[in-house]
Amino acid sequence: MIPRRAFGAALTALIGLVVLAGPASAHTELESSSPAEGATLTAAPTEVRLTFGEPVTLPPDAVKVTGRDGTAWTVGTPAVAGAVVTAPVTPAGPAQAYTLTWKVIADDGDNLTGTVHFSLAAAASSPAPTSAAPAPTSSAQAQAPSAPTAVDTSGIPGWIWVVVGVVGLLAVIVVGLRQLKGRGKD
């Protein structure tokens, strides 16, 4: 009889964990990028653009671009406007595969990371210095959906873990009190 009660309490606590943690694990996602995932560009971009499903903020070193051979592009200060992150870049390196690595903080405080893979068909040449704003990317590239990216799902808010811990502790206390009460009747 006692193991059945303990099993019932543990099952109830587990169901509570699943129900409470399910909605909390929803994250914003990268909806599109420029360059787009898997794109092969004939010319190196002067700006990268990431569009998310909800507003985000930026941690330090939010955007990096590196080539397969380890060549790193110079990334200027990224800017965020709601759900859109833009960063000026100074490309460098040969024609090869490149990885754009991004980090953002969602509205719910979760840290999210991901990558966008693209290739250059020609070597990146440093653009001549100008005082004009970077040339806009084509609208087709900016609107192209990117492939799914890796998202850090370990960022469940701490208050969820506190609630789960309290519910589990209460379940253990209730089971213990019932067992003590049952022994007193014997």
pLDDT at 149 over 50: no
What does the pLDDT average to over 105-132?
79
| Alpha carbon distance 138, 86 (integer Å) | 14
* pLDDT band of 147, cuts 50, 70, 90: very low
Mean pLDDT of all residues belonging to the chain: 77
* pLDDT band of 133, cuts 50, 70, 90: very low
Q: Taking each helix axis from N to C terminus, what angle separates 2-24 and 158-185, rounded to the nearest 10 degrees? A: 170
pLDDT at 81 over 80: yes
Higher pLDDT, 118 or 157: 118
In terms of phi and psi (left: phi > 0; alpha: psi -120 to 50; beta: otherwise), the region of 18 is alpha
For CA atoms 32, 33, 39, 43, give the dihedral sign.
positive
pLDDT at 181: 79
What does the pLDDT average to over 76-84?
94
- CB–CB of 110/157 below 8 Å? yes
- Among 22-31, 33-42, 58-67, which stretch is predicted with the lowest mean pLDDT? 22-31
SS3 101: strand
What does the pLDDT average to over 131-153?
44
* pLDDT band of 3, cuts 50, 70, 90: low
pLDDT at 45 over 70: yes
Cβ neighbours of residue 183 closer than 8 Å, sequence gap 6 or more:
none
Higher pLDDT, 49 or 12: 49
Residue in this structure with the two tokens 């833009």, named with its chain if needed = 86
| Alpha carbon distance 110, 104 (integer Å) | 8
- CB–CB of 53/31 below 8 Å? yes
pLDDT at 6: 62
pLDDT at 119 over 60: yes
Cβ neighbours of residue 135 closer than 8 Å, sequence gap 6 or more:
46, 47
Q: Report how far apart, in Å, the C-alpha atoms of 140 and of each of 34, 102, 106, 118, 121 are.
A: 9, 21, 26, 15, 18
